[in-house]
Amino acid sequence: TKYVDGMVHGKPISECEMLTISDKYNEAIMLGIRTSKGVAVSEISKKYGEEFVQHLLHQLVTLDSDLYKLSDGILTVTEKGFPVIDHITEILFISED
């Protein structure tokens, strides 16, 4: 309702979300792991820092190794992993709680 009222009166409402570095990392994981290109560990290191890489690698070992593939520094999900991709991404996320 506020949005429509704003448009009618020439004062559109907009919002801006400020993402934390953890939010940005989580989005990179969520989006990258769903593609055939996967997630480049070197890009995680470059964009977010080594602590994020360590988190990623530590969390990977908690998963069944047949759900993902880490080859030449690229993380991808296997055919067996795709049905549980939401679970995989949840495990790899960083929570700020």
pTM for this predicted structure: 0.82
Q: Minimal CA–CA distance to 29: which of 67, 84, 96, 86?
A: 86
What distance in Å separates the CA atoms of residue 75 and residue 32, rounded to the nearest whole number?
9
Report pLDDT for 29.
98
Q: What is the pLDDT of residues 36-83, one digit of tens each?
A: 999 999 999 999 999 999 999 999 999 999 999 999 999 999 999 999
For residue 50, which amino acid is it? Answer: E
| Joined tokens for residue 21 | 């570095």
Report pLDDT for 97.
61
First to last CA, the chain: 32
